[in-house]
Amino acid sequence: MHLLEALLLCLAACGLSEAHTYCSVKGKNIAPEGKASQISVYHGRLGIGTAQSAIDGNREGVYNLGSCILTRSESNPWWKLDFHKPRKVGAVVLVNRIDCCWERLMGAEVRIGNSMDNKNPVCGTVTEVGPGLVTTFCCQGMEGRYVSVVNPGYEGLMNLCEVEVYPEGSPRPCL
């Protein structure tokens, strides 16, 4: 067995998976430098499921442990990060929920730009979902004040457990 095959089997056995890794994730995660918001909060009074939970540096995928966001049932639900000034983005990493409902993220788009209405250019679209799936989108230096996750045409709840944003990096081929 080749080393890569052994590594992939080990990751699968541990329940860890990653999709769409097309670029290097270099440098420090800059997401905590921004201010997060979302269309609504499902459990607002309980203090969980809020926008800031997605940039707390914790990839925990169990919602009740407090590190995931959850909106109410909405048309075109969204989550957004405001850096207050344009930033060049090399990669955006999304971590899906592990305990249930991971399919809610299917079709969500990562958008980057300077328009606060979430109609910025698309860096990538979620085309694969699964429990705790980590998806990396290479944004190749797209620049913008806002990084948002929007699910256009979807009616329902939106959840995700971490959003990481990395400064412009060097593209590399998939493994």
Each residue's pLDDT tens digit, 9-37? 333 333 333 444 456 677 899 999 999 99
Is 5 or 36 the better-scoring residue by pLDDT?
Answer: 36
Q: Write out the E strands in the chain.
A: 18-19, 35-38, 69-70, 74-75, 78-95, 109-113, 122-125, 134-150, 155-156, 159-160, 162-167
pLDDT at 86 over 70: yes
* Residues 6 or more apart whose Cβ sits within 8 Å of residue 47: 66
Give the side-chain half-sphere CA count within 13 A for 63.
20
Which domains are seen in the chain, by residue range?
Answer: 17-167 (2.60.120.260)
pLDDT at 8 over 50: no
Determine the pLDDT at residue 1: 45
